[in-house]
Structure 1
Amino acid sequence: MHLDRQVVGGQAPLRGPALGDRGEDVQQRGGVLGFLIGLGGEHSITSGIVRAVKHKHGKLSVLQIDAHADLRDSYEGTPFSHASAMRRVRDLGVSVVGVGIRNYSAEEHRFMKKHRIQPVTPREARMNADWIQQVVDRLSENVYVTIDIDGFDPAYAPGTGTPEPGGLDWFQVSDLLKATAMFRRIVAADVVEVIPMPGSMQTEFLAAKLVYKLIAHIEANR
């Protein structure tokens, strides 16, 4: 794939609000690119980048592909844990549509019930032929896509810190990204929680291919 786009790299060893400053810096250095993909690492990178993207694009929603709700108010003593990533995003006034969610704590369940949060489970994705269109319909025009690699079934992506059985497959995720790019405007994204496994490049290759496909879908619909 060949793109007439500037690629701006760099590492951001920060989390929480401080990462928002880094996100704004990358956006500015990207010039006409105006598109950012964060790669991690901890899912805690997401809220800072979303803050920067929201400042640039205004009204925004997040498409979250994940095994976990990530809605704890804090975890292991920090409000900027990977387990609190979507809670911090919601604190920014940004709506979140979760797909692949199949594990959450009692605290998260209460929060979801109180705020009427209804994620799409992998089982629902298998049984409902219209699930992709229904997800897209819940998204705003501008969309930030965050992909925790554990949203995939561990058979496809075993290299992650908190794998959960019964996840999404490659075609479900790829088709969802394609539809989102067709009917909405993806303005930024991240792929996180990839942990290399000795002797296997399976998860890293899937993550790299996922970024490739995401960029291709976005470019095809510009």
Structure 2
Amino acid sequence: MTRLSLLGIPNDDNSSFLQGASEAPSLIRRALHSDAYSAWSETGIDLLAAGRLTDHGDIRFDDASDPWTLIEQRVADAMASGDPLICLGGDHAITYPILRAVRRRHARLTLLHIDAHPDIYHAYQDNPRSHASPFARIMEERLADRLIQVGLRTLNAENRAQIERFGVETVEAAHWRGDLRLDITTPVYLSLDLDGLDPAHAPGVSHREPGGPTLRQVIDLIQGIGQPIMAADIVEYNPRCDVSDMTALVAAKLLKEIGGMMVKNARKSAAAV
């Protein structure tokens, strides 16, 4: 059985507008384990089957440790088994220290980023650790060979300059048509910001941006990934902004579909060896 790992990263220290994303991991878990919903992915994987999912719990942050160092260490520990890992944020700033640990295990890596915002400011509000800046840090350190950003709809002059500087590939929401398929030839890290979806589908975020893709479009994109998904994060769920726990359910649904594709593609890779 292909196994999966889960790790909660309840940190929103670098959110620029509203706090609350640190409260997300336990609520996403609650939706995943709820008897009201199936734990099966559309690809036929039961995420809660015995032995399938190892939950490493939540990172516990304190004033004595640098949060970035702690995240990197705990992610490395969770990945030591070799099982694909899904991290539950937290704000999008956590993606940078996660990638530092993931990159050490993968010499080739494509970073697929679904978001309304490129989060590539050099140092948003003079904070280089801002949740609006992780992809600048990631690309500066070359933690991915390719960065593909999908769903963008807030690009300004600085964003576009940074995208050009780092050679980022983009699919803006205005150009997302029909059955989007990406040509990816390496293992994948998937970073999924819930505000990448249209807020009609995921209202529980701090930065709602109308005009985004549907949940179906995002699921179809994930299910179209043909390479192994080695790790992923689901970030920026803010329960304080949610409506009837709708976004928690959406996050749990996406967790199941990401996990399902991790298992499916791992099996395909094993069969090809």
TM-score, scaled relative to structure 2: 0.72
Q: Equivalences for 1:149-168 in 2 at 5 Å?
A: 149-168=194-213
Q: Is the 8 A contact 2:116 2:195 kept in 1?
A: yes
SS in 2 for 1:7: strand
SS in 2 for 1:10: strand
Which residue in 2 is equivalent to 1:141?
A: 186
Structure number with higher helix proportion: 1
Runs of 4+ in structure 1 off by over 4 angstroms are: none
Which residue in 2 is equivalent to 1:60?
A: 109
Q: Is the 8 A contact 2:151 2:172 kept in 1?
A: yes
Q: Is the 8 A contact 1:61 1:144 kept in 2?
A: yes
Per-residue CA deviations over 1:170-221 (Å, capped at 9, x if unaligned) read 11111111111xx111000000000113651111100011101111122123
Per-residue CA deviations over 1:104-149 (Å, capped at 9, x if unaligned) read 33211222234443410122112xx46x22x2x1x34110000000
> Which ranges in structure 1 are unaligned for 5 or more consecutive residues?
none
206-215 or 70-79, which deviates more? 70-79
3-12 or 205-214, which deviates more? 3-12
Larger radius of gyration: 2
In structure 1, distance between residues paired with 2:247 and 2:262: 23
Q: Is the 8 A contact 2:111 2:189 kept in 1?
A: yes
- Tell me the matched-pair count: 211
Point out which structure has higher relative CO (alpha carbons under 8 A, 6+ apart).
2
Q: Is the 8 A contact 1:15 1:80 kept in 2?
A: no
Aligned residues: CA RMSD:
1.9
> Which ranges in structure 2 are unaligned for 5 or more consecutive residues?
1-45, 268-273
Letter of the 1:125 counterpart: W
TM-aligned CA deviation for residue 17 of structure 1: 4.9
Q: Is the 8 A contact 1:16 1:44 kept in 2?
A: no
SS in 2 for 1:144: strand
Which residue in 1 is equivalent to 2:137?
A: 88
Which residue in 1 is equivalent to 2:58?
A: 11
Tell me, yes or no, if structure 1 residue 173 matches structure 2 residue 224: no
Which residue in 2 is equivalent to 1:213?
A: 257
Letter of the 1:56 counterpart: R
TM-score, scaled relative to structure 1: 0.87
In structure 2, distance between residues paired with 1:18 and 1:91: 21
Q: Equivalences for 1:24-173 in 2 at 5 Å?
A: 24-28=76-80, 31-32=81-82, 34-93=83-142, 94=144, 95-126=146-177, 129=178, 132-133=180-181, 135=182, 137=183, 139-173=184-218
Q: Is the 8 A contact 2:203 2:242 kept in 1?
A: no
Among candidates 72, 93, 96, match of residue 20 of structure 1: 72
Which residue in 2 is equivalent to 1:186?
A: 229
82-91 or 187-196, which deviates more? 82-91
TM-aligned CA deviation for residue 75 of structure 1: 1.6
In structure 1, distance between residues paired with 2:50 and 2:218: 23
Identity in percent: 35
